[in-house]
Amino acid sequence: MAPRRMETKPAIFCLKTLLLLYSFIFWVTGVVLLAVGLWWKFMLGPYMLLISSSPSSAPYVLTGTGAAIVLFGLFGCFATCRGRPWMLKLYAVFLSLVFMTELIAGISGFVFRHEIKGTFLTAYSAAVMRYDGRDDRSLAVDGVQRRLHCCGVYNYTSWFSSVYFPINGIPTSCCVHVSDCNEADLKNTTLAAQKVYKEGCYELVVSFIESNMGIIAGVTFGIAFSQLVGVTLACCLSHFINSNQYEMI
């Protein structure tokens, strides 16, 4: 029995080292998700109003998931160091749940991507039509137009039917050079065409989503399937420890 126990010790040490390394990486992904969730909530909050008419729960989901992964990543390190089979099995169960959650989220996002584009079109069109230059949605529209160098929904003519245009013209956030724009020019449909961005914001956002959907899906599924590595390591380590303890009896 003694030689057999000696053979399992290197395997247990190797599995512990790999599982500790994996748990640390898993913990880091939790920290990243937590940071992204908080950044989304406080920095991207206004822009989310252009994607949905109601407040998005995505930042809270990311923050909650990140916090849970941080806690269970620490638990995984503790379980690995302690070498208790029941702890390792519990860790494997949690990793399986994370795998299923991420897999479902990734598939749902890929399947419903067209609905997301449709929702964005509806919400962004409504924000342009009701633009007043002061509320949160209006400020978000200004931010999108400045950062993406775009104007209106499909192009600058989208503003002609807004409630804002008859009084103030096209918003200055559409101007290529703000110093070259004045209210009189922006209220003139002919002159405004020479002062503002020609491309609409909707097409830019949609093209970004379509061009990056494959990358986003690949990263999501890659992270999801990486949980299976942790499940395998935890189960193998639990098995070797159980076998080692059995042989000592």
What is the pLDDT, as a whole number, of residue 2? Answer: 45
Q: Give the separation between CA 99 and CA 94, rounded to whole angstroms.
A: 9
Summarize the confidence of residues 71-97 as an average pLDDT.
Answer: 89
Q: Give the separation between CA 206 and CA 62, rounded to whole angstroms.
A: 23
Lowest mean pLDDT among 135-144, 202-211, 228-237: 202-211
What is the pLDDT, as a whole number, of residue 174? Answer: 93
Q: Residue 7 — very low, low, confident or very high, per pLDDT cuts 50/70/90?
A: low
What is the pLDDT, as a whole number, of residue 188? Answer: 87
Q: Give the separation between CA 180 and CA 59, rounded to whole angstroms.
A: 39
Summarize the confidence of residues 211-221 as an average pLDDT.
Answer: 70
**Region class of 152: left (phi > 0), else alpha (psi between -120 and 50), else beta:** left
Please determine, for residue 1, whether its predicted confidence score (pLDDT) is greater than 50: no
Q: Give the separation between CA 146 and CA 47, rounded to whole angstroms.
A: 13
Summarize the confidence of residues 109-133 as an average pLDDT.
Answer: 81
Whether the CB-CB separation of 116 and 51 falls below 8 Å is answered with yes
Whether the CB-CB separation of 197 and 186 falls below 8 Å is answered with no
What is the pLDDT, as a whole number, of residue 41? Answer: 74
212 versus 139: the higher-pLDDT residue is 139
Please determine, for residue 5, whether its predicted confidence score (pLDDT) is greater than 60: no
Give the model confidence (pLDDT) of 112-121 as tens digits. 666 777 788 8
Q: Give the separation between CA 162 and CA 171, rounded to whole angstroms.
A: 11
Summarize the confidence of residues 34-55 as an average pLDDT.
Answer: 72
Provide φ and ψ at 175, rounded to 5°.
Answer: -70, 135
How many CB atoms within 10 Å of residue 97?
Answer: 13
- Helix (H/G/I), strand (E/B), else coil: 196: strand
Both tokens of residue 129? 């039509």
How many CB atoms within 10 Å of residue 229?
Answer: 15
Mean pLDDT over each residue of the chain, to the nearest integer = 82
What is the pLDDT, as a whole number, of residue 155? Answer: 92
Q: Give the separation between CA 189 and CA 193, rounded to whole angstroms.
A: 7
Q: Using alpha carbons, select from 197, 203, 157 the residue that is nearest to residue 174.
A: 197
164 versus 110: the higher-pLDDT residue is 164
The label of the residue with tokens 């303890």 reads 245
16 versus 62: the higher-pLDDT residue is 16
Amino acid at 76: G
What is the pLDDT, as a whole number, of residue 56? Answer: 62
What is the pLDDT, as a whole number, of residue 140? Answer: 87
Please determine, for residue 102, whether its predicted confidence score (pLDDT) is greater than 50: yes
Both tokens of residue 249? 């009896």
How many CB atoms within 10 Å of residue 173?
Answer: 22
Summarize the confidence of residues 163-177 as an average pLDDT.
Answer: 91
Alpha-carbon torsion angle 156, 158, 163, 166, nearest 10: 50
Both tokens of residue 120? 């964005």
